[in-house]
Amino acid sequence: MRFDSSFLDNLRDRLPISEVIGKRVTWDKRKTNAARGDWWACCPFHGEKTPSFHCEDRKGRYHCFGCGVSGDHFRFLTELDGLSFPEAVEQIADLAGVSVPAPDPQAARREKVRASLSDVMELATGFYQQQLQTSQGARARAYLRDRGLSGKTIEAFRLGFAPDGRNVLKEYLASKGVERQQIEACGLVVHGPNIAVSYDRFRDRIMFPILNSREKVIAFGGRAMSADSPAKYLNSNETELFHKGQVLYNFSRARRAGQGANSAGTVIAVEGYMDVIGLYQAGIENAVAPLGTALTENQLELLWRMTPEPVLCFDGDEAGLRAANRTADIALSGLKPGKSVRFALLPQGKDPDDLVREEGRQAFDAVIGKARPLADMLWMRETSADVFDTPEKRAALEAKFKTITAAIGDEAVQRHYVQDMRDRLHAYFESSNARSATGSGGDRFRRDAPRRGQRPGDARAGRRYAMSHQLARSALVRGASSLPVLRESALALTLVNHPELLITEFDEVAAIEFDHPQMVAVLSNLLDICASSETMERDAVRSELDKRGYGDLIGQIDQQIRNTREWTATTEAALEDAREAFHQLLSLFRRTQVLRLQKTELEQDIADATESGDDEAVPQLIRSLQSIQLEVERLEHQDALIEGFGVLSGRVRGAAAK
């Protein structure tokens, strides 16, 4: 039985060769680098004690440096197990979850047609490349030069030019013996029953060859040189070779580069051809692009074949944000444990090509380094467009997240998303309550309404409301407690000394629930200043806090921080050091709060079980309580800083604050 080459290519792309071979060998843990798809084992073809059998996922090949055997997925099974080629194909298709096509007497004929069409596309590519170097291509060369592309880059992507004539390419191909039916089948001309004479599809355009995974030209994208053209970019139509929703521009090169040392093992999806090419010239080769449309499910699958967590980078405008949101919805059904996407949003009005040309590679690397997980993208989308100040709006938001998480196919991932969104909603609604109470009517304060496991008099019971400036400064509150715990002081002082974080990390900041009354008031005022000020300069923020009566308090927690040498909260910390430490402190702070709530609930459960005479449940509840208490104590003493902090601030870890 003869199999279609595109079907075999699809099997190779869909299933890493390590999954085929890994069922017959034990990978050597010392030499193997699974993250890069680089595997080593003792050769299954000859006896050996030292691993010399090498397998590379990105190439889809294996090779033994001992006995010399090499091959692909299918050859491994035919040579090791003695399977026939059709049997090997069927076994690999089963592993990949793909149905083997029924025998088709026309398959060989179609394969022959495709081979001939590939030859025609290669001829067309060469013709366009030649035309770029002629006098007719001068304007196109000038455009590419103005976009900063070097001759080497133009050659690497085989860029060309389609002259402004109706029959230029058609006549060239005919002179080479290409038949009319072949030219039409390649999508190189516009034809049909209502068109008397076919004509070149691409005219007066810069040409971008589109390659398949085997680096064969299967289609073209054309960028119009005339501003009057109705379509700035034009792609080939669907053909026997080309199915737009199943192809990514620069796929093969990015797959190779994605395994390189400088790529962090990921692949970046951008929006356009020139973005990919501009990044390549800046040294970033692991970028791909859809072909003028939003990413499809098939294209996401292609990305996941290259890396478990591709970064989707969108232009910094409304259209880019809409595309990011559409892609977020598409990604949900394909999520698996360890398989997701991250989102990087560029500065307003910038695309990747602009950014690397104007500000260099470091600027783009910084954007990618701040890429946010899918859960964050979904959260920001649903909460940024409205104020959820009524029970009805909150119920609608909660229902929306239930609908979103229901689209996740994998049960384990869905369960964790449900929990994550539940935690976010709880924190968000609590914070919204606090903010909505600020500055309206008379004095506001933290009201105590009992929660489960709490009695009416418990200090931490109930919903939190922000206090007015007057109450926060009053003797009643100022004398009610001593200084805040260190972690609350560090979080608050970080925001005071680095107020830029109030803007860039607004969602995280707004969801903070401090326990200390004065810290609640400080946070409320910082958010108020952020909302009412045009700029967030440190001195201006400190001055405004002084006017509102918090100068002494800020001075006290500043001294508290300096005494304990938590230098990342001070003014001498660089912004990025402060940002990283802030996120770590916040994570520890929130985890401790959750554990304390669980501890309170367990204490109530123990009391209830004791009162009801459930002697069997009490010991287990006590063990759970002790475990949580130990974890709380561990977190309260855990250092939030990590190795390497302070480089940007000119410090080494643990250096004292001056």
Closest listed residue to residue 313, CA positions, set 252, 360, 357, 266: 266
Question: What is the DSSP secondary structure assignment for residue 339, as one 8-state letter?
Answer: B
Looking at the structure, do residues 64 and 199 belong to the same domain, yes or no? no
What's the pTM? 0.56
Which 3 state secondary structure label does DSSP give 21?
helix
Looking at the structure, do residues 481 and 558 belong to the same domain, yes or no? yes
Question: What is the DSSP secondary structure assignment for residue 285, as one 8-state letter?
Answer: -
Domain annotation covers residue 540: yes
Judged against a pLDDT cut of 70, whether residue 138 lies above it is answered with yes
Q: What's the confidence (pLDDT) of residue 637?
A: 56
Buried b (16+ CB within 10 A) or exposed e, 119-136: ebbebbbebbbebbeeeb
Judged against a pLDDT cut of 50, whether residue 129 lies above it is answered with yes
Q: What's the confidence (pLDDT) of residue 218?
A: 94
Angle, helix 486-497 to helix 538-547, in steps of 10 degrees: 120
Q: What's the confidence (pLDDT) of residue 286?
A: 92
State pLDDT tens for residues 98-111: 888 776 666 656 66
Domain annotation covers residue 442: no
Judged against a pLDDT cut of 70, whether residue 23 lies above it is answered with yes
| Cα angle value 61/92/414 (rounded, 5°) | 100
Q: The domain containing residue 276 runs over which residues?
A: 251-383
Judged against a pLDDT cut of 70, whether residue 464 lies above it is answered with no
DSSP secondary structure, 217-230, as one string: EEEEEEEESSTT-S
Looking at the structure, do residues 490 and 567 belong to the same domain, yes or no? yes
Q: Could you tell me the pLDDT band of residue 339, with boundaries at 50, 70 and 90?
A: confident
Looking at the structure, do residues 621 and 495 belong to the same domain, yes or no? yes
Of residues 397 and 536, which shows the higher confidence score? 397
Residue 618 CB-density burial (10 A; 0-12 exposed, 13-18 middle, 19+ buried): middle
Q: What phi and psi, each to the nearest 5 degrees, are found at residue 206? A: -75, 135
Q: What's the confidence (pLDDT) of residue 398?
A: 92
Judged against a pLDDT cut of 90, whether residue 609 lies above it is answered with no
Closest listed residue to residue 44, CA positions, set 83, 87, 76: 76
Closest listed residue to residue 310, CA positions, set 277, 346, 342: 342
Domain annotation covers residue 448: no
Which 3 state secondary structure label does DSSP give 197?
coil
Q: What's the confidence (pLDDT) of residue 112?
A: 62
Query: What residue spans of 214-342 are helical by DSSP H?
Result: 251-257, 273-281, 297-306, 318-332
d(Cα 640, Cα 515) in Å, to the nearest integer? 19
Closest listed residue to residue 521, CA positions, set 452, 470, 480, 564: 470
Which residues make beta-bridge pairs with 208? 221
Looking at the structure, do residues 160 and 62 belong to the same domain, yes or no? no
Q: What's the confidence (pLDDT) of residue 341?
A: 94
Q: Is 277:149 a contact under the CB 8 Å cutoff? A: yes
Type of residue numbered 387: V
Q: What's the confidence (pLDDT) of residue 265?
A: 64
Cα of first residue to Cα of last residue in the chain, in angstroms, is: 78
CATH number of residue 131's parent domain? 3.90.980.10
**What is the token pair recorded at 574?**
């660089």
Q: What's the confidence (pLDDT) of residue 294?
A: 77
d(Cα 578, Cα 645) in Å, to the nearest integer? 9
Lowest mean pLDDT among 62-76, 341-355, 418-432: 418-432
State pLDDT tens for residues 395-451: 999 999 999 999 998 899 999 999 999 988 888 887 666 555 544 433 322 333 333
State pLDDT tens for residues 491-514: 999 999 999 888 888 778 887 888
Looking at the structure, do residues 84 and 177 belong to the same domain, yes or no? no
Chain-wide mean pLDDT for the chain?
81
**What is the token pair recorded at 338?**
């360890």
Mean pLDDT of the 61-76 span: 88
Closest listed residue to residue 173, CA positions, set 224, 239, 119: 119
Domain annotation covers residue 286: yes
Among the three residues 242, 272, 301, which one is the final residue of a domain in this structure? 242
State pLDDT tens for residues 163-209: 998 999 999 999 999 899 999 999 999 998 888 899 999 999 999 99
d(Cα 336, Cα 449) in Å, to the nearest integer? 41
Among the three residues 383, 401, 422, which one is the final residue of a domain in this structure? 383
Give the number of domains in the chain: 5
Looking at the structure, do residues 530 and 620 belong to the same domain, yes or no? yes
| CA-atom Rg of the chain in angstroms | 31
d(Cα 544, Cα 536) in Å, to the nearest integer? 11
State pLDDT tens for residues 288-307: 999 877 788 889 988 887 88
Q: What's the confidence (pLDDT) of residue 111?
A: 60
Looking at the structure, do residues 408 and 537 belong to the same domain, yes or no? no
Type of residue numbered 651: R
Q: Could you tell me the pLDDT band of residue 636, with boundaries at 50, 70 and 90?
A: low
Of residues 619 and 471, which shows the higher confidence score? 619
d(Cα 71, Cα 217) in Å, to the nearest integer? 25
Looking at the structure, do residues 138 and 48 belong to the same domain, yes or no? no
d(Cα 403, Cα 277) in Å, to the nearest integer? 39
d(Cα 549, Cα 567) in Å, to the nearest integer? 25
Judged against a pLDDT cut of 50, whether residue 463 lies above it is answered with no
Looking at the structure, do residues 123 and 235 belong to the same domain, yes or no? yes
Q: What's the confidence (pLDDT) of residue 511?
A: 79
Of residues 328 and 449, which shows the higher confidence score? 328
Looking at the structure, do residues 233 and 200 belong to the same domain, yes or no? yes
